[in-house]
Every structure is written in C-alpha cells, then in structure tokens.
Amino acid sequence: MRSKVFINGEFYDREDAKISVFDKGFLYGDGVFEGIRAYDGKIFKLDEHVDRLFEGARAIMLEPPYAKEEIKRIIIETCRINDVKDAYIRPVLSRGIGDLGLNPFLAKRASFVVIVDNLVMYPQEIYEKGMPVIVASTVRSSLNALPPVIKSLNYLNSILAKIEAVNVGVPEAVMLNESGFVSECTGDNIFIVRKGVLITPPREAGILEGITRKTVIEIAKKHGIPVEERLFPKIDLYIADEIFLTGTGAEVVPVTNVDKRIIGNGEPGKITKFILEEYRKLTRTEGNPIY
C-alpha cells in the first residue's frame, strides 16, 4: 500500500520514515504504543486506545509532545493521508533523543509516530476451524516488575514466548504468571467457557487490559452470558468447553487445541461464534469517522 508515516509533525514515505539511533525507544524500549483498527472508514475505540496510551505515558513519566485531542486528530489525519478505509494503525510514543545513559529525563522531547498499514490478521481458516496454541514456559512479567498493564515498547517477555510458539509451529502461546495462573497470550487476551460461563483472567493476573476484552465482556453481559473475571490454572485450559483469544488485530479467534489437548469437540464453540459475530457487527457500526 502507498504509505505515509507521521513522525514528529511531518509525513514521510515509508522508505524515508526513520528515527535516530539515539532515540531511547530504540536503545532501551523506553516508550509506549498502541494497535488500533479502522473498519470501513471508521476508527474503532479510538478514545479508549488513546486513553491507554496516555495512561502508559503517565506511568513512565513520559510527557507526550501533543495533547490528547491533538494526538487523535493526527491519527485520523494519518489515515486520511493514506487514503484508507480498513487499516491497522500503530501510534508510538518514545522517550526521544538523549544520550546513551539510562536517565530518561535527559531526552528533551518525546517522539510521536503514527504508522498506518495493512491488516495483519490470522488466516480466515483459523476463524472457521480454530487454532492450536501452547502454554509457554516463559512466565509473564510480574505486575511489580514490567507491568503488562503498560503497553510498553519492551515486548521481549512476549517475544520469548512467541519464539516458543513459532518453534513448535503454532501461532500463539498462552503465558502463566509467577503464581502459575493463566494471564494472557503474547499479543492477545484469553477467555475460556466452562458450563456456559465465560471466564477471563483479572488484571491482577498480569495482563494488558485489552480493549477487545472489555468489549467482549460488555457483549456477553448484554446478551445474558455470565462472565467471571477470576484467576484459573493451566489445567482449566485443558478441560475448557471453549477457548478464544481477543485482540484488536485478532478480533475473536477460536482456539481448539492447547498443548495437543482437543478443546470441546475440536471446533469453534457456540459461544465463541456468537461473540465473534456480535463483535464484528459492532466494529462495523461504531467508530470515529476518518472522512
């Protein structure tokens, strides 16, 4: 696709979209980012994504170079310049240019980048048949170390688990926290269904509080499906009736195999299919218009 990238006030062609090697985001993963989607000319849950970006920035004492409303305007403008209706949008706030030391406050001004790209989705077949996952041996970062609540530029914890998944030929890995409870996947939240109840790990499990996760909980409650946010161990994955993952890019993706255990009857379950359908309806009705 024709692609223009916003960097600190200017639009650059993809090939010329470059950030300094002295940027703390590059040197130390010092920054925060978002993954947003546009559907049919509308940006889904823009406010929620920008709120989360700003919360992360506040937590790491990073002063965004633009006010919140301006950031939203820039995101919409970048979509417009790229002439897209359906897209994946990646805003990035990094600490900016400083010296080689760790002190973040020596960087004078944070950098803000917006990349608009084609969708990176799982293949259609996965939505029809479900996908296999593994439980990674890499433990999710502790809430008191590198809190998964912050969508920081340091994704090495997820990448270590993703390597485990790719090495055994599956697309995603479920991660447990230090206490052995299920937390989330490398880039998606997780839900299980047991006896008609939808269960998902709470924020204390060490998760990114996914915007898709929140939307799915709202959909379930609206339709009278009971939802529990509670801790559960790995064994509950193996005996679940249904499992699905949620994320902005993935939407709602059925999981039919965990560590070679067949989930339910080996096909996407009824509740999973219902939630996916309702989620897709919502993404096509709500959102901030680009044009």
Tell me whether residue 95 or residue 151 sits nearer to ligand PMP (CB atom): 151
- Residue choice 184, 242, 251, 278 for contact with ligand PMP (CB under 6 A): 184
- Residue choice 31, 130, 132, 247 for contact with ligand PMP (CB under 6 A): 247
At 119, the amino acid letter reads: L
Tell me whether residue 4 or residue 140 sits nearer to ligand PMP (CB atom): 140
Residue 213 touching ligand PMP (CB under 6 A)? yes
What's the min distance (Å) between Cβ of 136 and ligand PMP? 12
Tell me whether residue 98 or residue 187 sits nearer to ligand PMP (CB atom): 187
Site for ligand PMP in 257-286 (CB under 6 A): none
What's the min distance (Å) between Cβ of 101 and ligand PMP? 29
Residue 208 touching ligand PMP (CB under 6 A)? yes
Closest listed residue to residue 151, CA positions, set 58, 72, 218: 58
Q: Cα separation of 167 and 273, whole Å? A: 29
Whether residue 234 lies in the annotated active site: no
- Residue choice 35, 65, 104, 202 for contact with ligand PMP (CB under 6 A): 35
Do 275 and 219 meet the contact criterion of CB atoms below 8 Å apart?
A: yes
Which range of residues in 56-64, 89-97, 112-120, 204-212 is near ligand PMP by CB under 6 A?
A: 204-212
Q: What are phi and psi of 67, to 5 degrees?
A: -70, 165
Bridge-based pairing of strands 131-135 and 31-33 is: unpaired
Q: Which residues bind ligand PMP (CB under 6 A)?
A: 35, 158, 184, 187-189, 208, 210-213, 246-248
